[in-house]
Amino acid sequence: MTLPARLSGVLCPVVTPFKTDLSPDPDRLIRQSQWLLSQGVGLAVFGTTSEGNSLSVDEKIALLDRLAEAGIDLSRMMAGTGCCALSDTVRLTRHAVEVGCAGVLMLPPFYYKAVGDDGLFDSYAGVIDRVASDRLRIYLYHIPPVAQVGLSIDLVERLVRRYPDTVVGIKDSSGDWDNTLALLRRRWDDFRVFAGSEGFLLRTLQHGGAGCISATANVNGAAIRRLFLNWRDPQAVAEQEQLDALRRLFQAYPMIPALKAVIAAHTADGEWQTVRPPLVALRTEQKRSLLASLDERAFAMPGLPGRHCINP
């Protein structure tokens, strides 16, 4: 196998479909992934939006195998592999490398809080040294609002300097543009900075960033991709504003159940609404109002597999 190229563009933390018994549904995941790729969107499976930490390592390994068997283009995919236990992170990361993922998106261990940079450095180094593969490409995952354990810029720099061919990028989901800008300004050699949502996409690209990895790409990927391609054009600011408006609409609801509700409606496949606890599916009235506001905007998900049916 050739060494993986570094990723850029718009990637989607693919929502994980569950059956009614709460088991993961590989067939729906394959279809959603195929659809996203057809929209020009790359894949970031097992992210926060994917309920990645609500899946066991065994379940994630089985899903990776099914995606690979289905011929999904793994050169356009990163897999979320950061768990609380070093042993879990090593096992899952190793598997992602073995099946041929272009990269992994790696949370720090997130149970213990207020840990220092030394311990977080040891965590990443412990994984890298144990996986010991020249094919491993790590995109660090900085999402302090959820993980509560963040990655300081000093820590990122230590990792990049120690492992320049392995630690190749970061997803900054801090929601703090100053932090993203500080990362962009470091300009480490070919280091890929992804905005954590499309809200910062234009600014990230203007400052030399690689793209974004965004929850709403699950439903609006083609439009986000368009801005990625056209960011130097005069209409870019207007396109960014349109993306922001759609994003705000989703942000009025719990994001993951809202995305699943919309996919369920657009594919006329109610099982898509299923989430694992501790998440809760949208209530009927929430679903109705979300879909009505999308209807008002003539929102569409072109080429989505399944019957198109916007009404709940």
> What residues make contact with its own copies under the rule CB under 8 A?
22, 48, 53-59, 83-88, 91, 108-113, 115-116, 118-120, 122-123, 126, 145-149, 276-280
* Angle ∠(210,253,42) on CA atoms, nearest 5: 25
Who's near 265: CB < 8 A, 6+ residues apart?
A: 287, 291, 309, 310, 311, 312
Minimum CB separation of residue 167 from its own copies in Å reads 16
Measured distance CA(241)–CA(38) in Å, rounded: 24
* Token output for 110: 């997130």
Q: How far is the CB of 38 from its own copies (least distance, A)?
A: 30
Separation CA 280–CA 310 (nearest Å) = 21
Q: Which is nearer to its own copies, 85 or 229 (CB)?
A: 85
Q: Whose Cβ is closer to its own copies: residue 23's or residue 133's?
A: 23
User: By C-beta, is 221 or 257 nearer to its own copies?
Assistant: 257
Supply φ then ψ for residue 260, to 5 degrees: -65, -35
Q: How far apart are CB 23 and its own copies at their closest, in Å?
A: 8
Instruction: Compute the least distance from the CB of residue 49 to its own copies, in Å.
Output: 11
Considering the complex, state which of residue 184 and residue 213 has its C-beta at the smaller distance from its own copies. Answer: 213
Q: Give the integer Cα–Cα distance in Å for 221 and 40.
A: 8
CB nearer to its own copies: give 28 or 266.
Answer: 28
110 vs 228, beta carbon nearer its own copies? 110
Cα gap 227→218, rounded to integer Å: 16
φ, ψ for residue 172 (rounded to 5)?
-100, 100
Per this entry, what is the length of the chain?
A: 312
Q: Based on CB atoms, which residue is closest to its own copies, 41 or 55?
A: 55
Nearest distance, CB of residue 148 and its own copies, angstroms: 6
To its own copies, the closest distance from the beta carbon of 84 in angstroms equals: 4
User: Which neighbouring-strand residues pair with 142?
Assistant: 172
Q: How far is the CB of 182 from its own copies (least distance, A)?
A: 23
Establish whether the linkage from the previous residue to 278 is cis, with ω within 30° of 0.
yes
Q: C-beta of 46: minimal distance to its own copies in Å?
A: 11
User: Cα(263)–Cα(267) distance, rounded to whole angstroms?
Assistant: 6
Residue with smaller CB distance to its own copies, 71 or 278: 278
Contact of 65 with 80, CB cutoff 8 Å: no
Report residue 148: phi and psi, to 5°. 65, -5
